[in-house]
Structure 1
Amino acid sequence: MRSRHRKISRGKVLAAAAAALAAGTAAIALPQADAAGTGEVAQSITGTAWAVDTRTGETLVTADSTVQGAKWDSLLAATRGKAVRVERTPGVLSLFAEGGDAIFAGGARCSLGFNVTTNDGRPAILTAGHCAAAGRRWSLTQGGRPVATVQKSTFPGNGDFSLLTYDNAATSAPSAVDTGGGRLVNITRAAAAQVGGQVSRMGSTTGLHNGRVTALNATVNYPEGRVTGLIQTTVCAEPGDSGGPLFTGDGSAIGVTSGGSGNCRTGGVTFFQPATTALAAVGARIGG
């Protein structure tokens, strides 16, 4: 059964949805993490992602269930002899559609992220960039009156984030995450992820889930294109959770859900857009 969450006045952060994704081909650039720390190994392997484990200095390469046969052999050959750890993840790496308390544009459903304030004082929403592809105007109910408009968006490329400003400049939009059951986590700052750190994610499809950060500066080869600079985690997510907030119990905004593989029954890998990077890019901050 889908988890239901209490909405926070008119302003909770809403994040992104897209349709289910088909397989494609995208190239990845895998850094040659040898003792010299130089060079690159380039492979055209859809269904792979790479990131850096800052604790060990290793490059962590993740391969989904589509990387089989010649693709798997090619991946192993490209990483042999390097300071690289190759891991499998169930399912297929893809963007997660919807998430958080839903917002809508056209036929698409998107999710909650973080309410923010722009540098010129406007109330706004920070969410996943792939959400913006579904439409420019967003409402809080399906077919309802639009309340927010996309102003900036990045996807694919150097991140997966977008900024939506509320149409009513007087909108009350506290930076808080509703974790269900009448409980709120007040978000007071944005902070960088730390490898090994415990984090929580909220989404409208699967609700509240916890996990840890496994690597930073991840590059993911989605069928829509390559996205760089993401956080890799063990937190599960499913279609409907995209754009939802990644945060810590002390009130730190860590990121917004981008995509991944697996599900919340068997586990998987989920990637997040860092909040600090996105806020700097769109010119916004947590809080009023």
Structure 2
Amino acid sequence: MARGRRKSVLAATGIVWLALAGVSVPASADVTGGSADPSMIAAMKRDLHLDSAQATELLTRESAAGRTERDLRAALGTRFGGAWLTAGAATLVVAVTDPALAGRVRAAGAEPRIVRHSERDLAAVKSTLDKAARPSSGVVSGWYVDTVTNTVVVQARPDAVAAAGEFVKASGADPGVVRVNVSADTPRTTERVALGIYGGDLLRVPLGSCSLGFTVVNYTQHLGGWVTAGHCGRTGDAATPGFDVGATGTFRGSVFPGNDYAWVSHDNYDFEYGPFGMPQVYDYRGNGVWVEGLREAPIGASVCRSGITTGWRCGTVQAKNVTVNYAEGTVSGLTRTSACAEPGDSGGPYLSGGQAQGVTSGVSGNCTSGGTTVFQPLNPILRAYQLKLSSANGPLDPPA
């Protein structure tokens, strides 16, 4: 697969090179998106083994399910236990801790599941693990909330199950909620690749190259730029966005580990006379996919990501509120997907339909033998730096 695109293509389309970044919608907005993008349909056909009609129907169902999940989460409050889509988005399952709420869930068009622990309860148990003394990445690769089983899962190496159990015990987390799962996964950041390896790098940084995420604007500082991964550079580092060798940028903020996010400004354009970048994601086939909103996709929904090394790849959301134990430190609040990625894809954007989701953080495996990725959700980035997402529907604020 081509790892870059010609400068003439960029100049003609104005498409911003994004990798896996997500965006936030204003609290009052309900961006449903338009017709399915042909580039996304093509990638879903390839990676999810669907035909065009199936891919289009899947996106329609996922969009409706996302709105239903959002509404029920707000309505059910502390009794909400999470939600997920079954295969093919056939059914949205919504977990509740109170059987009396089952009828309300059915009335909204979802299938109720009665569970013992609320989403907040599970998040509190996971937070206890997050605050515990960090185990070796050779013992525990990470932990996350497993919404479907209503537990918190700790992923242990095959030869380190006992040590993982000791980590759970020492943390003080409720052992009745936590289960240890044996996993040979070795998650790592999709590290920067050396300068000069690929032509047309998207985001050149002092120690290599990453991928640009979604286009954003900070109206307070009169700056525009892109979100990306925090491990790609430190605050104050210089960067070169896109293909124009005359373009200059600066990491205006960066956090890693703990979180994995950053934003890079475009420093040599006139803010008053933009635009400096399009609200699109490049599909590595010469097309831009429009960013339409910020609605978070439910577990089980399809997602597609873009990055300079592996291009445009799709998968499904597998888990949320994931903590990954990288060699450099732990990163919490990530979302895991079955889409693959490789070094250099860091910071690139994830879309579900036209809805921005987040930026690539790390990977286990690769795009040849298969693997999984984790992304940093976008809303925390937008809030941290007072950014608005650039979209086909105008600048969007993160939800309150």
TM-score, structure 1 normalization: 0.79
* Alpha-carbon displacement from aligned partner over 1:89-145 (angstroms, at most 9, x marks no partner): 54x211102499522123411112111111435321111111123971111479944
Structure 1 residues 24-173: aligned runs within 5 Å: 40=128, 42=132, 44-46=135-137, 47-63=140-156, 67-69=157-159, 71-75=160-164, 78=168, 82-84=177-179, 86-90=181-185, 92-98=186-192, 101-120=201-220, 121-133=222-234, 136-140=237-241, 144-157=245-258, 159-167=259-267, 168=269, 169=271, 170-173=274-277
* Equivalent position of 1:233 in the other structure: 337
Distance 1:98 1:15 in 2: 13
The answer to which structure has the higher strand fraction is 1
Check whether the contact 1:15–1:128 (CA below 8 A) recurs between aligned residues: no
AA in 1 matched with 2:181: V
Q: Report the counterpart of residue 246 of structure 1 in structure 2.
A: 350
Q: Distance in 1 between matches of 2:242 and 2:377?
A: 27
Secondary structure, aligned partner of 1:240: coil
Identity %: 34
Structure 1, unaligned runs of 5 or more? 17-33
Unmatched segments (≥5 aa) in structure 2: 21-115, 170-174, 194-199, 396-400
CA distance in 2, matches of 1:55, 1:189: 27
Contact conserved, 1:200 with 1:235, CA < 8 A, in 2? yes
Q: Supply the AA of the counterpart residue of 1:106.
A: P
Q: 1:181-223, CA deviations, whole angstroms, 9 ceiling, x for partnerless residues?
A: 2222110222324211111111111111111111111111111
- 1:260 maps to 2:352: no
Deviation at 1:224, TM superposition (A): 1.1
8 Å CA contact 1:89, 1:268 repeated in 2: no
Q: Which residue of 1 aligns with 2:38?
A: none
Q: 1:199 to 1:60 in 2, by over 3 A?
A: farther
Following superposition, the deviation at residue 165 of structure 1 comes to 1.3
Superposed CA RMSD: 3.2
**TM-score, structure 2 normalization:** 0.59
Flag the 1:135–1:259 CA change in 2: closer, same or farther, 3 A: farther
String of CA shifts for 1:8-41, please: whole Å, max 9, x gaps. Answer: 446625569xxxxxxxxxxxxxxxxx97968656
CA drift of 1:172 comes to 2.0
Matched to 1:161, the amino acid is Y
Counterpart of 2:3 in structure 1 is 3
Q: Per-residue deviation at 1:68? A: 4.5
User: Do residues 284 (structure 1) and 387 (structure 2) align?
Assistant: yes
Q: Following the alignment from structure 1 to structure 2, what is the Cα–Cα distance between the partners of residues 114 and 89?
A: 32
Count of aligned residue pairs for this structure pair: 265
Question: 2-side partners of 1:247 and 1:126: how far apart?
Answer: 14
Query: Which residue of structure 2 lines up, in the alignment, with residue 202 of structure 1?
Result: 306
Q: 1-side partners of 2:229 and 2:293: how far apart?
A: 19
Contact 1:89–1:262 (Cα < 8 Å) also in 2: no
SS at match of 1:59: strand
Structure 1 CA distance, aligned partners of 2:231 and 2:368? 25
Structure 1: distance between partners of 2:19 and 2:233: 9
- Write 1 or 2 for the structure with the bigger share of helix: 2
